[in-house]
């Protein structure tokens, strides 16, 4: 306690306004007074020096070492420079203060390490805002799992998903296990059979397109164990699972996401009142999961990654609602003079995808649809080559049989006159 209290004024780092008040007490952490409590680190460097000189005795070496330590704690070259000056003054006053200075240096370094660690933790706790499909993956082949490893992986996934749902405060749910999926219906109303049929159909559809080998009449299982599919009853629960389970911030309007975590695949979505939307999103996200596990985790270029997921969704979900929406959007783009080359340049990484009004989805749907219609085997070969690490443009020529320029030209001409 200071008696009498002393009048000080200071500024906080990054804030222009001058704070004035009566200082009651201080220690190595900071100052307390009519202005509240502030750590030394909160003050700007100039204020730190001024306030400190009011409090310490600049003729006493130990007091100067105290100030030097506060200066040295800051991640700021100017402050470090000041600290060295202060230590030199202390040494000049009392050569015996050298061990004191060494101890102060060590404490300041430990303080900076602790600050950096705390910042790292805070950063990790902040929700991730970028979209999960935008993560970069290397073209290293997935190892093939033995049956025993597969079975163990399923057990691990069950445990992990139970913990994830409990973290989000949701009830314990027993999954429905299909050939390829572990489906969790969390407070989700309705008959799950449609969902299961859609997922298994999607798997077979993509398996046929990519010519996956079969074992006992069934396409081989690409997943690590199985793909986990969580279907929440409502949007709020979906968002809780995203935040607590996947550390993911969800932009408005997003109905489902696929999270590829190492070899594991989790699809998270919720039961929207619109049946077509629900089923389309479910299949679309599940395709992302399947493609994650096809050959290597390397992604196709964004337009193809998204176009293929929509192509599958349109093939499986009855009613062709998705086709109607995407096709209209894509045709409007092409006939309005939009450049398909620009769509092929868009990507998650630089935020250009999906472009204004999500136009990337419509145009990419048409491109992939057209590619598969023209040459489905070439398309499958192209996918394989890109997943194996090939450059997608070069692989268009070598595997698909037409350069990207040619494809764009033909696709454009076709859609100018055909719906």
Site string for Zn ion, 288-307 (x = CB under 5 A): ------------------x-
DSSP 253: T
Closer CB to Zn ion, 43 or 309, in the complex: 309
Residue 181 — φ and ψ, nearest 5°? -130, 150
Q: Which is nearer to Zn ion, 291 or 395 (CB)?
A: 291
Question: At closest approach, how far in Å is the CB of 318 from Zn ion?
Answer: 21
Q: Cβ neighbours of residue 231 under 8 Å, at least 6 residues apart?
A: 183, 184, 185, 186, 188, 195, 269, 270, 271, 282
How many angstroms separate the most distant Cα atoms in the chain?
91
Are 225 and 156 contacting, i.e. CB atoms less than 8 angstroms apart?
Answer: yes
What is the rounded distance in angstroms from the CA atom of residue 157 to the CA atom of residue 316? Answer: 27
3-class DSSP state of 233: coil
Minimum separation from the CB atom of position 253 to Zn ion (A): 13
Nearer to Zn ion, 198 or 306 (CB): 306
Residues 27-66 close enough to bind Zn ion by CB under 5 A: none
Total interface residues for Zn ion by CB under 5 A: 2
Tokens of 330: 């894509």
CB of 306 to Zn ion, least distance (A): 5
Question: Of 306-335, which residues contact Zn ion (CB under 5 A)?
Answer: 306, 309
Please state the φ and ψ torsions of residue 227, each to the nearest 5 degrees. -85, 130
Our CB check for Zn ion shows the closer of 72 and 286 to be 286
User: Using CB under 5 A as the criterion, what x/- string covers residues 394-413 for binding Zn ion?
Assistant: --------------------
Residues 367-396 that bind Zn ion (CB under 5 A): none
CA torsion, ordered 365, 408, 388, 248, to nearest 10 deg = -40
How many CB atoms within 10 Å of residue 206?
Answer: 25
Nearer to Zn ion, 306 or 385 (CB): 306
Compute the least distance from the CB of residue 310 to Zn ion, in Å: 8
User: Residues near 77 by Cβ (< 8 Å), separated by ≥ 6?
Assistant: none
**Residue 210 Cβ, how far from Zn ion at the closest point, in Å?**
18
Pick 271 or 299: Cβ nearer Zn ion: 299
Dihedral sign computed on CA atoms, order 47, 48, 54, 55: positive
Residue 306 or 314 with smaller CB distance to Zn ion:
306
Nearer to Zn ion, 83 or 371 (CB): 371
Cα 268 to Cα 232: distance, rounded to the nearest angstrom:
8
DSSP three-state, residue 94? coil
Nearest residue (CB) to Zn ion, 175 versus 289: 289
Two tokens, residue 213: 């080998």
CB of 82 to Zn ion, least distance (A): 53
Q: How near is the Cβ of 288 to Zn ion at its closest, in Å? A: 6
Residue 281 Cβ, how far from Zn ion at the closest point, in Å? 9
The residue among 237, 253, 233 whose CA lies nearest residue 245 is: 237
Nearest distance from C-beta of residue 255 to Zn ion, angstroms: 11
Q: Which is nearer to Zn ion, 355 or 401 (by Cβ)?
A: 355
Q: Give CA–CA dist 283/275, Å, rounded.
A: 12
Cβ of residue 300: shortest distance to Zn ion, in angstroms?
A: 11
Tell me the closest approach of the beta carbon of residue 248 to Zn ion, in angstroms: 14
Residues 252-291 vs Zn ion: string with x where CB under 5 A? Answer: ----------------------------------------
Residues 6+ apart with CB under 8 A from 328: 362
- Work out the angle at residue 353's Cα, subtended by the Cα atoms of residues 350 and 357, and round it to the nearest 5 degrees: 135
Report the C-alpha gap between 207 and 211 in whole angstroms.
6
3-state secondary structure 126-193: CCECCCHHHCCCCCCCCCCCCHHHHHHHHHHHHHHHHHHHHHCCCCCCCCEECCCEEEEEECCCCCCH
Q: Distance (Å, rounded) from C-alpha 273 to C-alpha 383?
A: 34
Nearer to Zn ion by Cβ, of 154 and 229: the residue is 229
**Which residues would be at the binding site for Zn ion (CB under 5 A)?**
306, 309
């Amino acid at each position: 306690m200071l008696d009498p209290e002393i009048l000080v004024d200071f500024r906080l780092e990054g804030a222009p306004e001058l704070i004035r008040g009566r200082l009651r007490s201080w220690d190595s952490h900071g100052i307390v007074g009519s202005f509240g409590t502030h750590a030394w680190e909160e003050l700007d460097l100039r204020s730190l020096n001024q306030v400190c000189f009011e409090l310490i005795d600049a003729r006493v070496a130990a007091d100067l070492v105290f100030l030097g330590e506060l200066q040295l704690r800051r991640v700021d070259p100017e402050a470090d420079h000041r600290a060295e000056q202060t230590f030199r003054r202390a040494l000049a006053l009392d050569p015996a203060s050298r061990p004191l200075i060494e101890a102060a240096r060590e404490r300041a370094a430990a303080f900076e390490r602790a600050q950096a660690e705390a910042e790292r933790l805070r950063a990790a706790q902040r929700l991730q805002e970028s979209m999960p499909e935008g993560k970069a993956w290397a073209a290293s082949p997935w190892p093939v799992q033995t049956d025993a490893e597969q079975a163990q992986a399923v057990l691990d996934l069950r445990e992990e998903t139970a913990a994830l749902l409990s973290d989000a405060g949701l009830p314990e749910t027993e999954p429905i296990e299909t050939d390829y999926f572990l489906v969790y219906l969390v407070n989700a109303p309705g008959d799950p059979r449609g969902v299961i049929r859609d997922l298994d159909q999607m798997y077979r559809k993509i398996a046929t397109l990519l010519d996956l080998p079969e074992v006992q009449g069934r396409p081989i299982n690409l997943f690590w164990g199985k793909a986990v599919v969580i279907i929440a009853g409502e949007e709020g629960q979906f968002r809780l699972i995203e935040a607590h389970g996947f550390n993911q911030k969800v932009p408005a309007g997003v109905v489902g996401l696929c999270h590829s975590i190492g070899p594991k695949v989790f699809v998270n979505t919720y039961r929207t009142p619109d049946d077509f939307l629900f089923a389309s999103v479910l299949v679309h996200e599940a395709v992302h999961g399947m493609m994650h596990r096809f050959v290597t985790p390397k992604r196709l270029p964004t337009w193809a990654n998204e176009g293929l997921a929509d192509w599958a969704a349109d093939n499986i979900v009855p009613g062709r609602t998705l086709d109607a929406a995407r096709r209209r959007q894509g045709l409007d783009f092409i006939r309005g003079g939009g450049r398909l080359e620009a769509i092929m340049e868009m990507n998650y990484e630089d935020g250009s995808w999906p472009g204004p009004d999500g136009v990337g989805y419509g145009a990419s749907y048409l491109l992939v649809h057209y590619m598969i219609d023209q040459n489905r085997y070439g398309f499958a070969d192209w996918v394989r080559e890109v997943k194996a690490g090939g450059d997608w443009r070069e692989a268009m020529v070598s595997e698909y049989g037409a350069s990207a320029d040619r494809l764009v030209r033909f696709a454009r001409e076709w859609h100018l006159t055909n719906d």
